[in-house]
Amino acid sequence: MTAASLAPAVSLARDLLRLPSVTPEVGATFDFVAAVLTRAGFAVERPVFAEPGTVPVENLFARIGTGAPHIAFSGHLDVVPPGDVGAWHHDPFSGAIEDGLLYGRGAVDMKGGVAAFLAAALAFLERQGADFRGSLSFLLSGDEEGPAVNGTRKLLDWCVARGERFDAAVVGEPTCVESLGDVVKIGRRGSLSGTVTVTGRQGHVAYPERAANPLATAAAVATALTGAPIDAGTAHFAASNLELVSIDTGNPSWNVIPAAARLRFNIRYNDLWSRGSLSAEIARRVAAVPTAAGVSAAVAFETGYGDVFLTQPGPLVAAMSAAIAETTGRPPALTTGGGTSDARFIKDLCPVIDFGLVGTTMHQVDEHVPVAELEALAAIYGRFLDRYFGA
């Protein structure tokens, strides 16, 4: 299949897949995208962010237009490692096309989404011209698959410091479950992680009176955390769920009472809670557990992650829903399930939604996307731009 015979979204995706960009090494992909956008009239900048203990990460901001409304497309061009290259049927950085499928690391997550929006934006500018009413920009990170500390969050801070203002944003992460257009994510649950440390006194198993075993209290803490539901859910969100992910003493011996036990947990929570109120509820549950003599329990929460948010129905949601219905013949479900995305950073600046490809093969060996799905996604994004800008 020649490049001339490929649809623009497919050609762009194949070119991106041929440029290895295992996080955070994204320079070549940014060179490519910058060239494409510069030719189309975008002003392109590539700020690099770093902080102690992390590697510097390049990001990309491109904008065309000066007026409102200003809509941003957010995504990332870094990818996870391919794993065992020998297990792939095609080189993970070859951009091979076989039987209507485009293969490569990042085909779904998320070079395919970036390519579809690039194709849609270029076609929109050809239809409307560079003087369309409003502004269109790209926020592309090189740190989404990595620690996520030198990427979108810092890029947004950089934009705000320069006076950029956004009216709406679309994150192009793979969101669909079974078929393209079945799901638009209009919000995300919050994520809160923590560790309960139950401290006792180490001793010999044969002399328990000389020790204080923390494990009975740790078991009671586990019951306190998981025994009662956190809530019953809300109109747009499922019930919050707390999952224990580790209970550990670090004790390799059979005849030693451990000095401490640690319980690690993660909570995905809905809009009944904020990070602060949920932390207080978990601390209350831990404090209510009776402790044996010489045993104490304390909880500490991890920093980072994102708070819960919901994008209410409005022009953004309506335009994307209509564009999907026009392209696929059916309206999407509006959901808030799944994990987090960079929308957790954008939601403080403007309404934001997540919509992209079907996520079946992301991060897998032989990651791939149907070329027809890429073309359809570009068509949806194009109709969305027309509707949002009132073209």
Burial of 390 from C-beta contacts in 10 A (0-12 / 13-18 / 19+): exposed
Q: Where are the domains of the chain?
A: 3-188+308-388, 190-301
What's the confidence (pLDDT) of residue 238? 94
DSSP assignment of 220-276: HHHHHHHSS-S----SSSPPPEEEEEEEE-----SSEE-SEEEEEEEEEE-TT--HH
The helix or strand, by DSSP H or E, that contains position 226, with its residue range, turns out to be helix 215-226
pTM here? Answer: 0.88
Mean pLDDT of 244-270: 97
Q: Which residues are catalytic, by number?
A: 78, 144
Distinct helix (H) and strand (E) counts, the chain: 9, 21
**What integer is the mean pLDDT of 373-385?**
98
Residue type, 317: V
Is the pLDDT score of 359 beyond 80?
A: yes
pLDDT at 254: 97
Return the pLDDT at 147: 85
Strand, coil or helix: 127: helix
Mean pLDDT, rounded, for 217-221: 98
Amino acid at 33: V
Mean pLDDT of 371-375: 98
User: How far, in Å, CA of 88 to CA of 366, rounded?
Assistant: 5
Architecture of the domain spanning 190-301: 2-Layer Sandwich (3.30)
Reported as a single tens digit per residue, the pLDDT across 305-334 is 678 999 998 999 999 999 999 999 999 999
What kind of architecture, by CATH, is found in domain 3-188+308-388? 3-Layer(aba) Sandwich (3.40)
| pLDDT of 172 above 60 | yes
SS3 content of the chain, % helix, strand, coil (to 5): 30, 25, 45
- Residue type, position 351, single letter: P
166 has a pLDDT exceeding 70: yes
pLDDT at 2: 55
Signed CA dihedral, 283, 284, 289, 293: sign only: positive
Q: What is the mean pLDDT of residues 75-94?
A: 96
Lowest-pLDDT range of 140-154, 230-244, 371-385: 140-154
- Evaluate whether 384 touches 326 at the Cβ level (below 8 Å): no
pLDDT exceeds 60 at position 44: yes
d(CA 28, CA 31): 5
Pairing of strands 70-76, 260-269: unpaired
* Confidence tier at 261 by pLDDT (50, 70, 90): very high
Letter for the amino acid at 18? R
For the chain, give the mean pLDDT. Answer: 95
Burial of residue 5, with CB atoms counted within 10 A of its CB: 0-12 exposed, 13-18 middle, 19 or more buried:
exposed
Q: How confident is the model at residue 239 (pLDDT cuts 50, 70, 90)?
A: very high
In this prediction, residue 1 has a pLDDT band, given cuts at 50, 70 and 90, of: low
CA angle 181, 138, 310 (to 5 degrees): 50
Same topology between domain 3-188+308-388 and domain 190-301: no
pLDDT at 206 over 90: yes
pLDDT of amino acid 71: 97
Give the closest residue to 120 by CA, choosing from 388, 383, 390.
383
